[in-house]
Amino acid sequence: MKVRLTEPLDSDVLLRFVNGESPVDERASVERWLAADVRHRAELDRLDRAWRLAARQEQPDFDTKALWERIRLELGNVPAVRVSRPTPARISAPFLPPSTRSRWARAASAVGAIAAVGMMAVLLQKGEPVPEPEPAPEMRVYTTRPGERAELRLTDGTRAVLNGASTLRIPPAFGTASRDVYLDGEAYFEVTHDSANVFRVHTSRMVAEDLGTRFTVTAYASDSTSQVAVAEGVVGVVGKDSAEGVLLNLNDVAHVSSTGVVSATRNVAIDRHLSWLGGVAHFDQDLVSDAARMLGRRFGVEVRVADAALAKRRFTGSVRASTLYEDLRGLALLLDAKYERKGRIVTLSSRAGSAR
* Share in percent of the chain as helix, strand, coil (round to 5): 25, 30, 45
Range of the domain at 292: 279-350
Is 335:348 a contact under the CB 8 Å cutoff?
yes
177 with 70, same domain? no
26 with 164, same domain? no
Stated as kind and residue range, the H or E segment containing 331 is helix 324-334
Q: What does pLDDT average to in each consecutive run of 10 residues of the chain (356 residues)?
A: 49 72 79 76 66 47 55 43 33 30 26 28 40 62 94 95 96 89 97 90 93 91 93 92 83 92 92 92 92 94 94 92 94 92 95 58
- Total Cβ atoms within 10 A of residue 15: 19
Q: pTM surpassing 0.75? A: no
121 with 235, same domain? yes
The number of folded domains in the chain is 3
249 with 297, same domain? no
What digits encode the pLDDT tens for the residues 59-81?
445 555 555 555 555 544 333 32
Residue 85 lies in a domain: no
CA-CA distance, 189 to 202, in Å (whole number)? 13
What per-residue confidence (pLDDT) applies to 43? 67
3-state secondary structure of 34: helix
- Total Cβ atoms within 10 A of residue 105: 18
The CATH code of the domain that includes 250 is 2.60.120.1440
The residue out of 248, 273, 298 marking a domain boundary is 273
Strands 302-305, 345-350: parallel, antiparallel or unpaired by DSSP?
Answer: parallel
